[in-house]
Amino acid sequence: MSTRANGEVVVVGGGVVGLTTAVVLAERGRRVRVWTRDPVERTTSAVAGALWWPYHIEPVTAARAWALRSLEVYGTLASRPEETGVRLVDGAMGETDLADVESWAAGRLPELRRATAREYAPGPAVWARLPLIDMAVHLPWLRERLRRAGGAVEERTVSDLAEADGPVVVNCTGLGARELAGDASVRPVRGQLVVVENPGVDTWLVSTAPDGAMAYLFPQPGRLLLGGTSEDDVWGLDPDPAVAEGIVARCAALRPEVAGARVLEHRVGLRPVRDAVRLERTVLPDGRPLVHHYGHGGAGVTVAWGCAEEAAALVASS
């Protein structure tokens, strides 16, 4: 069978980027199998706070286009939050100038305006209604959407991309691309967060202190996610109790009702950061087409749909 139109594609990597890419390909008529080392519920994407925002991702112009396309998709998915895990939630993005956001998102973000001092006291901020994704629901939903489109997810560990047996291979391995693609420019940025019982917070908030310390509060059904950290080139996955205390303290300084909230869980994830997203078509040693699609850092959820469509176009040219 031709590798075009109806040809099989193996997507290596089962996080949000890999699954979304697989869904786009399957719904365009390709036969798709996703190979993932871990169940989708245990990928790095499962740890994400998952607020839509183009967070530290290059190239900026392309990333904003991918993000805005993804915003359209999430807006539709938000009509079925219990099924898709996507909700539109109001909140404040601290240390952000309204003019800067309007320069790329004017007319696209509901409720976009300057935040009031009551909404965000530390300084300038914007207020917007953004997609907030519950990854515990969204990732299994993506897997099921792929299954309905005729695709499949297989738990497979590979040591070489050439092991993928499809006529076309898509590399969505994130941090794993350091080894599988021989790309030492992919590096971990460690993030830690604390999950607590929600004391009544119903809006999200992101704040960055002058010293660079971050604080964010993301209300999810039945819980509140508190963050966070951004530690370059740190590989450890064990939660640090002192870091967790600092996270709670920073969040409580912004929302006092958080102080004393019962801790439900600690989470640590490694963002797969690269100077710029690698999205390009090349070939495997045996000549089969290989599309690289990794390096999204902490913005994988934000750009997933727009970037997946571009990756699918590269597959279509194979």
Q: What's the angle, vertex CA 225, arms to CA 242 and CA 208, rounded to 5? A: 70
Q: Residue 137 above 60 pLDDT?
A: yes
- pLDDT at 170 exceeding the cut of 70: yes
Is residue 4's pLDDT more than 50? no
The length of the chain in residues reads: 318
pLDDT at 298 over 60: yes
215-255 pLDDT, tens per residue? 999 999 999 999 999 999 999 999 999 999 999 999 999 99
Give the 3-state DSSP-derived string for 247-290, with helices as H, strands as E and coil as C.
HHHHHHHHCHHHCCCCEEEEEEEEEEEEEEEEEEEEECCCCCEE
User: What's residue 7's pLDDT?
Assistant: 83
* Portion of the chain with pLDDT greater than 90, in percent: 95
5 — pLDDT class (breaks 50, 70, 90): very low
Binding residues: 44-45, 158, 173, 216, 271, 297-302
The annotated binding site for D-dopa is made up of 216, 271, 298
Indicate the range of 38-47, 63-72, 272-281 predicted with least confidence.
38-47
Binding-site residues for FAD: 44-45, 158, 173, 297-302
pTM to 2 decimal places: 0.96
3-state SS class at 13:
coil
Alpha helices by DSSP H, the chain: 16-27, 60-77, 81-84, 98-105, 135-148, 177-180, 241-254, 300-316
User: From CA 87, how far away is CA 155, in angstroms rounded?
Assistant: 29
pLDDT digits (tens, 9 = 90+) for 160-169: 999 999 999 9
Q: What average pLDDT does this structure show over 6-13?
A: 90
CATH class as words, domain 8-316: alpha beta
